[in-house]
């Protein structure tokens, strides 16, 4: 978790020096499931979600140049295909607002010599368009003129579809597509409950703002829902197709990212992306075959476990074309209940 250099105030008039520590904006960016990226200096961070569209994220940061060959700066982790998770919050309370993959990396250098690295990310699938239903008794978020509503732009027309508009307010992860907000002190017809159809989080210069739009759900995606709750959705571009069931099973086919992602409700996941195939599970993975199981790698092959690796068979043959090395950091043992043979042109012990 990283605090911002400064943060937005509890109300529009509050000075930055008066902010309580618990109100300070903070963020954490995870890459490929590892620990948060320490010392990450961001110029800006933006996450945008809209009904019927894929959630996107944009990270912008300084790019120190020139970069010497072999230096640590060349090994930055945000390469296309890398998994990225973004948490936002205040103080020590953070919530995930994005979980997707890097789709593009861009380096720009201005005439003044300033350089910037932009990381574009996209989440698999599309945000569900808010369905009909009664408004809740209590809204997820209340926004009022003169308190926490920084800016507002609303309208209503003669089509009878209801009021629509957008609001800008202190950043909060509570604002999400489909969530209900309550507007106060704006008068009719805007006071009351409204459902969000688009949300944009922006963190820049230590300030975190959220901009959200409400109104009738946009017709930006095609969606079919079966009587049992099974859903098929296609985004506005027609390049992402998602299939989902009420039990949490899902299949996402994306021409845009050239990927196929299969998930179940237990955290198991299969991904087919241009960089390769990834199989992950919250439990065990078992491979069984009545015939042979063969694994071929065009480059290095790695088998790793934090505890132990066991190989069992009637016969085990390990053969190296050039060199063979077996090493134990603490102990090593070579034994057999029958004959044991050690051969070599030269046999060295110690």
Range of weakest confidence among 174-188, 213-227, 328-342: 213-227
Q: What is the CA radius of gyration of the chain?
A: 27
- pTM here is 0.63
Distance, in Å, from the CA atom of 240 to the CA atom of 311, rounded to the nearest integer, reads: 43
Residue 348: pLDDT over 80:
yes
Distance, in Å, from the CA atom of 95 to the CA atom of 172, rounded to the nearest integer, reads: 9
Distance, in Å, from the CA atom of 238 to the CA atom of 300, rounded to the nearest integer, reads: 38
Query: How does pLDDT run across 226-285, given as a tens digit for each residue?
Result: 888 788 888 766 788 888 888 888 898 988 778 898 988 787 889 998 888 988 888 899
Distance, in Å, from the CA atom of 314 to the CA atom of 178, rounded to the nearest integer, reads: 59
CB neighbours of 275 closer than 8 A, spacing ≥ 6? 80, 81
Assign 118 a pLDDT band (cuts: 50, 70, 90): very high
Distance, in Å, from the CA atom of 187 to the CA atom of 213, rounded to the nearest integer, reads: 18
Distance, in Å, from the CA atom of 206 to the CA atom of 58, rounded to the nearest integer, reads: 16
CB neighbours of 337 closer than 8 A, spacing ≥ 6? none
* Size of the chain in residues: 350
CB neighbours of 95 closer than 8 A, spacing ≥ 6? 87, 88, 89, 173
Amino acid 1: pLDDT: 65
Q: Where are the beta strands (DSSP E) in the chain?
A: 2-3, 25-31, 44-50, 56-62, 83-90, 93-109, 115-122, 141-144, 151-155, 164-170, 180-184, 192-204, 207-214, 222-225, 231-234, 240-244, 250-254, 259-263, 269-273, 276-280
pLDDT greater at residue 235 or residue 107: 107
Q: Which residues pair with 60 in a beta bridge?
A: 44, 118
Distance, in Å, from the CA atom of 9 to the CA atom of 11, rounded to the nearest integer, reads: 5
Range of weakest confidence among 57-71, 190-204, 331-345: 57-71
Q: Is 22 helix (H, G, I), strand (E, B) or coil?
A: helix
Amino acid 288: pLDDT: 92
Decide: 165 and 152 in contact? Cβ < 8 Å: yes
Decide: 286 and 271 in contact? Cβ < 8 Å: no
Residue 29: pLDDT over 50:
yes
Mean pLDDT across the chain, nearest whole number? 84
Distance, in Å, from the CA atom of 289 to the CA atom of 295, rounded to the nearest integer, reads: 13
Residue 109: pLDDT over 60:
yes
Q: Three-class SS string for 240-282?
A: EEEEECCCCCEEEEECCCCEEEEECCCCCEEEEECCEEEEECC
């Amino acid at each position: 978790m990283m605090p911002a250099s400064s943060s937005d105030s509890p109300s529009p008039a509050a000075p930055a020096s008066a902010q309580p520590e618990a109100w300070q904006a903070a963020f954490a960016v995870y890459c490929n499931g590892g620990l948060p990226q320490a010392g990450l200096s961001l110029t800006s961070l933006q996450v945008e979600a809209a009904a019927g569209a894929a959630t996107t994220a944009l990270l912008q940061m300084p790019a120190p140049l020139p970069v010497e060959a072999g230096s640590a700066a060349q090994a930055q982790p945000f390469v296309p295909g890398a998994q990225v998770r973004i948490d936002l919050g205040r103080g020590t309370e953070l919530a995930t607002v994005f979980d997707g993959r890097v789709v593009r990396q861009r380096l720009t250098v201005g005439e003044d010599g300033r350089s910037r690295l932009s990381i574009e990310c996209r989440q698999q699938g599309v945000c569900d368009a808010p369905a009909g239903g009664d408004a809740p008794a209590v809204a997820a978020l209340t926004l009022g003129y003169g308190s926490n509503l920084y800016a507002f732009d609303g309208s209503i027309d003669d089509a009878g579809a209801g009021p629509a508009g957008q609001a800008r307010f202190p950043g909060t992860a509570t604002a999400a597509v489909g969530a209900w907000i309550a507007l106060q002190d704006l008068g009719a017809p805007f006071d009351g409950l409204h459902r969000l159809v688009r949300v944009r989080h922006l963190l820049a210069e230590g300030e975190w703002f959220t901009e959200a739009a409400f109104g009738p759900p946009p017709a930006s995606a095609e969606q079919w829902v079966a009587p049992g709750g099974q859903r098929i959705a296609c985004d506005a571009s027609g390049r992402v197709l998602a299939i989902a069931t009420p039990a949490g099973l899902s299949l996402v086919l994306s021409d845009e990212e050239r990927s196929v992602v299969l998930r179940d409700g237990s955290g198991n996941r299969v991904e087919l992306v241009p960089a390769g195939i990834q199989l992950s599970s919250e439990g065990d993975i078992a491979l069984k075959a009545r015939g042979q199981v063969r694994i071929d790698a065009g480059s290095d092959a790695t088998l790793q476990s934090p505890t132990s690796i066991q190989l069992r068979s009637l016969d085990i043959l390990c053969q190296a074309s050039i060199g063979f090395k077996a090493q134990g950091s603490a102990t090593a043992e070579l034994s057999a209940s029958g004959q044991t043979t050690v051969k070599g042109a030269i046999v060295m012990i110690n």
